Every structure is written in structure tokens, then in C-alpha cells.
Amino acid sequence: MRTADGIITLVQEGRFQLVSDQGIAKLFMLAHSAPIEPQDLPALVGSQARVTVTYDEPPDLIAAVVHDIRYAAEPAGESRR
């Protein structure tokens, strides 16, 4: 499995866009086994919290499938206030 850090900027049901610190946007969808529900995603957009997602990329889907999502550690030299 892979991981990615960033901020969730768009949400539609169980699908979302994550933008990395480098400005790269990637599409994801929640796996049924993910620790959060689709209705929890809008709060992450509103808070602009950095998250880390653990995902895989099935060859037959355009979005990566997220199996875990959690708050990310802050990048070196930054702090949230």
C-alpha cells in the first residue's frame, strides 16, 4: 500500500480530492473498511487539516481506494495555530 499527505479540497459522497504539499491533486474514494464515513469528509475540507491516507490503486478505477485516513504530522518548520 502507498501513502500520501495533503489537504482534502473537494468532497462528493465517498469520493474526494487530496492536494499534496507540492500542489499535485489526486482523486480518492473511501473503501468500505475505511475508519471514517463519507459524511465525515466535509468537516476535513472545512478544517483544512493535513491528513495522511493509505491507499491502493486498482487498475480498473480512476480513483485510488483509501483504506486508512488520519491527521498528518506537520511538515518540518510549520505549526498550526
How far is residue 77 CA from its own chain's centroid? 22
Q: pLDDT (tens digit, 0 to 9) for every residue of the chain, 81 residues total?
A: 999 999 999 999 999 999 998 999 999 999 999 999 999 999 999 999 999 999 999 999 999 999 999 998 765 545 444
Dihedral angle over CA of 80, 24, 30, 71, nearest 10: -20
- Segments making up each domain of the chain, as ranges: 2-71
pLDDT for res 25: 97
pLDDT for res 48: 94
pLDDT for res 73: 77
| The CATH fold of domain 2-71 | OB fold (Dihydrolipoamide Acetyltransferase, E2P) (2.40.50)
Rounded to the nearest 5°, which phi and psi values hold at 55?
-145, 170
